Structure 1
């Protein structure tokens, strides 16, 4: 059976990446909208209700509008925006998050795709909270370095079409979201079970894609399992057998080039690679992923496959 799929907002970065994956997917046919009618409400509504699966690659307000236009009881929606990530009527689209999450996605007609920073953070923290290793009230911090494609077309143009003076200013990583109110924070708290969000400091680097999310810990913050190596064993056990979340060998010497971990090392995959460094006192947890892969479009296609009962890796 060939499934009909519509990408609402296919001209954006995430939409284009989803479309690229769907074009090589053996089980789907793309429903294309006439470019001249891509803002035509009636035409979008027709395609949304004709599709077996529709991806919403839109700003939050537009995603909510499109979700409201979809009245068909058979269309499955996957929203790539922030609009529905903590909405109890939508399944959170991170199947590796907990033992029940994949089943929740499979049975839902409405799935909210996670944010890229949140994906890396949640996969590090949720297992430890669930196991009682990390108390839910722990005051955490998190830093995340991402390539500039994570900011969409506007940021891509800023980096790739900059004049010489601007290019010089963009050569190093830049902090942003300094209000400490990044839009991923609600899901970073709600989906990990933390009682408060972390102090989150994202940075954008002068390269196209790839990201590393880091969470530092002191051993005394943990309720049990008080060494880096023991924490590594806890995470490795949690993700044993996972197709797309891989826990790298402890301290991961083979992944570190001259003492440096490349944030682009998981690019062009749908993997979230987990690393643990440290000793008996201080511990550093890292997630490395492609912000356009497992951090966005790859995750969306993986969720579609789960919803349709297809092998998760199709198109990926």
Structure 2
């Protein structure tokens, strides 16, 4: 079986990464537009409606406009932008979020691809909230650093073209990053997490950290209970792995760069009752293109890891 796929925004960083993962597959036929027709509204409308599946790799407003151009009830959409991640009628495309999520994605007409930061955050936090180990009304904090490719072509050009020689740049200092609502909603937290993101001078890779004062929680869960809950949540996942932290004293941003997997670790100090949850992933892999391909595979009825590097 071959399905027709149109990547709208195929020339962008995420679009190119998606096409690379799908290249050479006999079960996918690409609907394409040449450079001259790529920004032609009539040509895009035709391509959007001709495809069985569409993956949108566009800015938010352009993604909304693209969805509005689809006038049939057959074309299924994966949106890699921020536009629909908390929108009604859209299924959140993180297969590992809930036990029922793969089935929900497989049957959905509209799927929103998760953000890169929320992917690491939710993988760490959602199972613990669900199990009652993190109180749903706790003021959760999350610190994360990403490779500069997460900023798209403009930031890549800035870092590689001499526009910036910084090694570390913290941003979103007004605590209103566009991913915060997505994190709160899908973790099912009562309050927005306090999110402190940064970009560093490496092309790809990401570290997401959530510190937890376990001594302050009413249930006072142990480090073992935290790790056990995560291992149970991802016991059958082909993409998420929970690694041992014993004897590990450092975490590198490149740990999962170049892959589509997501790795989790639980560090901590049992004597002080403190935990440090850490996720590593590729911001362009499981944080973007890898997740889109995983969602496409689920929706099209293929093996969900086809084309992924794990």
Residues 24 and 216 (structure 1), Cα distance of their counterparts in 2 relative to 1, 3 Å cut: farther
Contact 1:276 1:286 in 2 (8 A): yes
177, 186, 190: which is aligned to 1:195?
190
SS in 1 for 2:146: strand
2:307 is aligned to 315
Q: How is 1:1-316 mapped onto 2 (pairs within 5 angstroms)?
A: 1-162=1-162, 166-167=164-165, 170=166, 172-224=167-219, 226-249=221-244, 251-253=245-247, 256=248, 259-280=249-270, 281-316=273-308
- Superposed displacement of residue 262, structure 1: 1.0
Deviations 1:127-173 (A, max 9, x none): 0111111111000110001000000001000000016xx42xx1x21
Residues 221 and 242 (structure 1), Cα distance of their counterparts in 2 relative to 1, 3 Å cut: farther
State the alpha-carbon separation in 1 of the partners of residues 73 and 306 from structure 2. 25
- Superposed displacement of residue 225, structure 1: 5.7
- Superposed displacement of residue 221, structure 1: 3.7
SS in 1 for 2:74: coil
Q: How large is the Cα RMSD of the aligned pairs?
A: 1.2
- Superposed displacement of residue 264, structure 1: 0.8
SS in 2 for 1:37: coil
Contact 1:229 1:279 in 2 (8 A): no
State the alpha-carbon separation in 2 of the partners of residues 25 and 274 from structure 1. 30
Residues 279 and 24 (structure 1), Cα distance of their counterparts in 2 relative to 1, 3 Å cut: farther
SS in 1 for 2:36: helix
State the alpha-carbon separation in 1 of the partners of residues 255 and 189 from structure 2. 29
State the alpha-carbon separation in 1 of the partners of residues 67 and 258 from structure 2. 30
Count of aligned pairs: 306
Can you give the 5+ residue segments of structure 1 that lack an aligned partner in the other structure? none
TM-score (normalised: structure 2): 0.96
Residues 26 and 52 (structure 1), Cα distance of their counterparts in 2 relative to 1, 3 Å cut: same
- Superposed displacement of residue 223, structure 1: 4.0
Deviations 1:100-138 (A, max 9, x none): 111111110100000000000011111011111111100
- Superposed displacement of residue 222, structure 1: 3.2
TM-score (normalised: structure 1): 0.94
Can you give the 5+ residue segments of structure 2 that lack an aligned partner in the other structure? none
Give the ranges of 4+ consecutive aligned residues of structure 1 lying more than 2 Å apart after TM superposition: 220-225
Contact 1:31 1:47 in 2 (8 A): yes
